Structure 1
Amino acid sequence: MTSGRKQIDVPAIRQDLDLARSAPPTDRTAATIRAVEAQLESAGRLDRTIADTVDQLRLLDARLDETVTRTVELAATQADSSDLGGIGPEVESIVSELESLRQAVEETGGPTPAPGTTP
């Protein structure tokens, strides 16, 4: 997503929009303005999607770190195995959310896996 977003040159698009808006008003000029505005809107949507994805990954990373820390704590204190009850479902939840995020990135044309690796 980010490599695709980098290909959208917002400053150049804004210049195109300014140029189109300064042209004499015609049907063609109006259509040009709409098309250029649509490009800016696409860039904005991509920016929001990228930010949301980064936020999701940050949260999942924190949750995973928390789960590892709890596991280490339980191992270090030789806690009763019943204390492990919340860790399994938490790991399953994290894995499920990571898989959902992976599928979403894949559907939006995210990076393809390297040869010899699984998606």
Structure 2
Amino acid sequence: SGDLHCTSGCGYQSKRKDDWQRHEEINQPQEIWSCIRCRTQSRRHHFIAHRKDKLIEHIKNKHADLLDKNRNQLFVERLDDLVNKSKFDVPPTFKRRCGFCGQRFFNWKKRNTHIFRHFKNKI
């Protein structure tokens, strides 16, 4: 429990700003990652994530054969290549109006900073 609440109303609460922001992106994703390897192998259920770190974890766990861990530089370059090819450009979607005061936002980070300040009673 905590003083930061999900703005979509699911009941999630947190004390940490980073955890709260990460949760907000579950309901309002700002990036979409779809594993390029899964897609090119025509898998019916390919991996999709809204966080880059989750895609990297997936590639390391499910596609280790593509990565040469013995040659560290190649590992990093190959991983970066797979990650970059897996990113989908999506228009940012999020609740533009602050639920506290009604202020309108066009920038995700500014929106979150503003709402965080409401939660901390600094506005």
Could you say which TM-score interval applies, normalised by the shorter chain?
A: under 0.3
TM-score, length basis structure 2: 0.26
Higher relative contact order (CA 8 A, sep 6+): 1
Question: Whose strand fraction is larger, Structure 1's or Structure 2's?
Answer: 2
TM-score w.r.t. structure 1 length? Answer: 0.26
Structure with the higher fraction of residues in helix conformation: 1
Larger radius of gyration: 1
